[in-house]
Amino acid sequence: MRAYFSRRYRLSASHRLHSNGLSAEENQAIYGKCNNPHGHGHNYVIEVTVGGQVAAETGMVCNLVDLDECVKREVVGRFDHANLNFDPLFQERVPTTENLCMEVYRLLKAAFDEAEVVRVRIEETSNNFFEYPVDGRRARQGREQTWQNRQ
């Protein structure tokens, strides 16, 4: 049976939202206080969801210790207590949390093979969060199809 397993990780980092393709005034107008030249920081919460068959012999989708090691190596070790603007991934792209979310997803997708990485959700503050990809929809569709087949 396919189940989804999620785990939350934390990291603290700074960033500055600034697009080189825009004028100083436009950057200020679009990004507001996030455009402060000295940057600012957040305590990010990164929620990683993996999906897969629950192995009969372990009762697990994947070994949580291995997922922890992978996320710590690929993501937390890379971004924690760092300035995101200096990371090679954000030389051409603004380190918004949308972009961070997509990059974290790509890093984990490439590095973790014990189960399928299906979603990354990042809370920038307790009031805003970002998800990539929006995979719950696929799970819901799958469920609805199962339901329809039973009718």
Partner 1 sequence: MILLTRKAEFSASHYYWNDAWSAEENERVFGKCANRNGHGHNYTLEVTVAGDVDGSTGFVVDLKQLKDVMEREVVSVYDHRHLNKEVPEFARAIPTTENIAIAVWKRLEGKIPGARLHRVRVYEMPDLFADYYGEP
Work out whether strand 82-83 and strand 2-15 pair parallel, antiparallel, or are unpaired. parallel
Rounded-to-integer distance, Cα 74 and Cα 29, Å: 34
Whether 123 is catalytic: no
- Selected from 64, 81, 110, 125, the binder of partner 1 by CB under 8 A is 64
37 preceded by cis ω (within 30°)? no
Whether 62 is catalytic: no
Q: Kindly list the distances between the CA atom of residue 46 and the CA atoms of 33, 73, 126, in Å, as whole numbers in the listed order.
A: 23, 14, 12
120-137 CB burial, b ≥16 within 10 A, e <16: bbbbbeeeeebbbeebee
Which residues in 118-147 contact partner 1 (CB under 8 A)? Answer: 139-140, 142-143, 146-147
Residue 122 contacts residue 98 (beta carbons within 8 Å): no
Site pattern 8..27 for partner 1 (x: CB under 8 A) = xx------------------
Tell the smallest beta-carbon distance from residue 31 to partner 1 (Å): 31
Whether 34 is catalytic: yes
- Does the protein bind partner 1 through residue 49 (CB under 8 A)? yes
Q: Write down the catalytic residue from 57, 81, 92, 101.
A: 81
Q: For binding to partner 1 (CB under 8 A), which residues are involved? A: 1-9, 49, 54, 57-61, 63-65, 139-140, 142-143, 146-147
Active-site positions read 34, 81, 124
